[in-house]
Amino acid sequence: MALYSEKVMDHFRNPRNVGVIEDADGIGEVGNAKCGDIMKMYLKIEDGIIADVKFETFGCGSAIASSSMATELIKGKPVAEALQLTNKAVAEALDGLPDYKMHCSVLAEEAIRSALEDYYKKHPDAAI
């Protein structure tokens, strides 16, 4: 059995939504000191919908693939739905990650939550 699924390899080789949103409504940055991975997520939110999402990830292939897949899963979705995204859902969407790489999907979940927290700090009147 291959170590990584085709989906992991595809999102690693052709990551979606890479980059920066200059006037982002929410920015979240998280890191894992143990492995050295750092993820930064940028959200553009319009009428409670994630209109755009971009990421910058410094890390291994699993971290890049997890970031890419996570952005695909929340783009165009209501904020409330993005808040429900779990690392398990990210890993499942990638057709699985090796156990020792599951922390990469956790980072993706945490980066999104961090960006949404930032959004709510900047927009305290926004409905959840």
Active site residues: 35, 104
**Cα-based distances in Å from 112 to 18, 25, 52, 98, 117:** 14, 12, 12, 22, 9
80-91 burial code (b ≥16 CB/10 A, e <16): eebeebebebbb
Residue 69 contacts residue 104 (beta carbons within 8 Å): no
Rounded to whole angstroms, how far apart are CA atoms 75 and 35? Answer: 27
